[in-house]
Structure 1
Amino acid sequence: MNNIKSMVLNDGSTLPSVAFGTVNVKGALGLYDVLNAIESGYRLIDTSTNYHNEGMVGEAVRRTAVPREELIISSKLPGAAHSYDDAIQMIQETLYRIGIDYMDKYLIHWPLPKQDQYVEAWQALVDAQKFGLIKTIGVSNFLPEHLDRIIEKTGVTPATNQIERHPYFNNKALVNENKKRGIVTEAWSPLGREINDVLENDTIISLAQKYDKKPAQVIGRWNIQNDVLFVVKASSPQHQKENLNLFDFELSDEDMKQIDSLDKGEPGRVEGQHPNEYEEYE
């Protein structure tokens, strides 16, 4: 399985350092993509209620020959369910949709500080973990002030924080803040999505040529060497396999700095989704 490095979380559990992302992966074609990904060696499958594909992921779990206990299924709480009771019910509903008895990993999708119920939502995840509904709990798109507030109010630190991170928006300060709190960072949209040209960037391409790798592999390796979990999506089986093949080379410190230097700050966000402003009430 490509010798995928494992990451140890603050709750003692482990995750593979590469996950298969499923945003916009839906229906029969999506099912084919997920089954191919599992066949290629992915074991951590990242979905969300707001991706509208939890049923498809569940179908992949049922159809694959890989035993359920070897798969790590992760989903996310939508903004419409931040109140405590709504959150508990949504977690249960997600389990029913996917058709599994427990979530391996579950995150709050966005903090929604204007709504200001994320502490309540986090308490629901803490309790759902105690109930045995979730193995590992975390958050997504949380800033340091959001993290500190939920830790102070509940005494429980998230295991992971999934954040936007790619060469044009490396989010390095937040990666470091996560590390300070013992939280593993996960990178969403690590290849920048279709709306920017990170895979065609001259620096990335020259590094890919230097290491005889693909641009996506260079970005994956940059994340791995920063102790960041790489959540990546690909449809072709070839690209799926390439995105797992990150462990037979190492970027030099100078090359890591070159990639860091591509950062554009706030303008580099793929869709301008600042966690203090973005509203996700679906």
Structure 2
Amino acid sequence: MTNGITNPASVPDITLADGCGIPQVGLGVLRIDDEGVQPVVEEALAAGYRHIDGAAGYNNEGGVGRALAAAGYTAGEARASLWVTTKLRDSEQGYDSALKAFDRQLGLLRLDYVDMYMIHWPTPFDWRSGETWKAFVRLRGEGRVKTLGVCNFLPEHLERLHAETGEWPTVNQIELHPTWQQREVVAFCKAHGIAVEAYSPMARGSDLNAGGGTIGRIAAAHGVSPAQAILRWHIENGTVIIPKSVHADRQRENLDLFGFALTPEEHAAIDALDGPTRAGHDPLTFTYA
């Protein structure tokens, strides 16, 4: 660390089943408006982030694209050093609609390709993931997408997708934090070579006080923040994380996770915080239209 700036080389890659390497820590941009997201992404890139996680449903891809252009990350070696994820809007699932949507999204992002394109929600009540995936495979074959992922898929959805397409996604991005660990989903993903990526890795902040001070005590023992203690737990689990912050100092803190390690007892204490309540939406019923 120098002046709060992290060397991108200090953030390890997680190697996916297809050989692509995704930086283990990225920046999430949910709930940041299109105008506000540009300085947030520019600050993150300056702090050392090389992984940006976006989505059509966040309605800010244009702002992300402006940030990438302003910071010089739309082409050349700089672009090659950056991982950009975006997601298909649920209302645009389907073969033709996904292809059309991707063209629009790529234009907004000002890129020639994205590193990962994802189905945002499985929408089992209006299942179109099989046809959508076929469009994704075409985009991958054209070189406009490097790897293909899904979000919020339960094992039954992953199995159905595999039955229809013969493929497993390389990544499943799910709500995952100390009080909602989704162990069955994680175990299924690991058994099938699917990397797990955690959104809401701190339960939107509510897990910072989990366990009656457990997180705080662990953090104090290492001279780090409660957020860093939780994020380090994710790192040690091999999970990809995309903490969101609009504050440059917090962004730097969320990236500074590689100068300490939890003891086995501390890691187990966080494992023991698992609970029955999610902070977000139910994949069986929700759609991010």
Query: What interval of TM-score do these two structures reach, taking the shorter chain for normalisation?
Result: over 0.9
Which stretch of structure 1 is more off in the superposition, 230-239 or 51-60? 230-239
Cross-structure match for 2:279: 270
Cross-structure match for 2:244: 233
* Residues 87 and 121 in structure 1, CA contact (< 8 A), matched pair in contact too: yes
Aligned to 1:24, which of 17, 22, 31?
A: 31
Matched residues in 2 for 1:80 and 1:130: separation? 24
Cross-structure match for 2:17: 10
Per-residue CA deviations over 1:101-126 (Å, capped at 9, x if unaligned) read 11111110000000011111122112
Does residue 192 (structure 1) correspond to residue 207 (structure 2)? The answer is no
Cross-structure match for 2:46: 39
Cross-structure match for 2:264: 253
SS at match of 1:248: coil
Matched residues in 2 for 1:121 and 1:252: separation? 43
* Residues 23 and 83 in structure 2, CA contact (< 8 A), matched pair in contact too: no
Q: Give the partner amino acid of 1:134.
A: V
Matched residues in 1 for 2:22 and 2:161: separation? 23
Cross-structure match for 2:129: 118
Pairs aligned (count): 276
Q: Give the partner amino acid of 2:144.
A: L
Does residue 53 (structure 1) correspond to residue 64 (structure 2)? The answer is no
Q: Give the partner amino acid of 2:48.
A: G
Q: Give the partner amino acid of 1:58.
A: G
Matched residues in 2 for 1:31 and 1:117: separation? 32
Cross-structure match for 2:103: 92
Cross-structure match for 2:70: 63
Q: Which runs of 5+ in 1 are unaligned?
A: none
Deviation of 1:144 after TM superposition, in Å, equals 0.9
Matched residues in 1 for 2:135 and 2:266: separation? 42
Which stretch of structure 1 is more off in the superposition, 145-154 or 41-50? 145-154
Q: Which runs of 5+ in 2 are unaligned?
A: 1-6
Does residue 203 (structure 1) correspond to residue 217 (structure 2)? The answer is no
Q: Give the partner amino acid of 2:97.
A: D
SS at match of 2:26: strand
* Residues 167 and 262 in structure 1, CA contact (< 8 A), matched pair in contact too: yes
Amino-acid identity (%):
36
Deviation of 1:41 after TM superposition, in Å, equals 0.6
The two structures have a TM-score, normalised by structure 1, of 0.94
* Residues 178 and 273 in structure 2, CA contact (< 8 A), matched pair in contact too: yes
* Residues 201 and 243 in structure 2, CA contact (< 8 A), matched pair in contact too: yes
* Residues 32 and 60 in structure 2, CA contact (< 8 A), matched pair in contact too: yes
Deviation of 1:253 after TM superposition, in Å, equals 2.1
The two structures have a TM-score, normalised by structure 2, of 0.92
Which stretch of structure 1 is more off in the superposition, 48-57 or 246-255? 246-255
Aligned to 1:172, which of 173, 180, 183?
A: 183
Q: Give the partner amino acid of 2:282.
A: H
* Residues 34 and 61 in structure 2, CA contact (< 8 A), matched pair in contact too: no
SS at match of 1:145: helix
Cross-structure match for 2:4: none
Per-residue CA deviations over 1:113-142 (Å, capped at 9, x if unaligned) read 000111111221122111222011100001
* Residues 126 and 156 in structure 1, CA contact (< 8 A), matched pair in contact too: no
Per-residue CA deviations over 1:28-64 (Å, capped at 9, x if unaligned) read 3321111000111111100000000000010011011
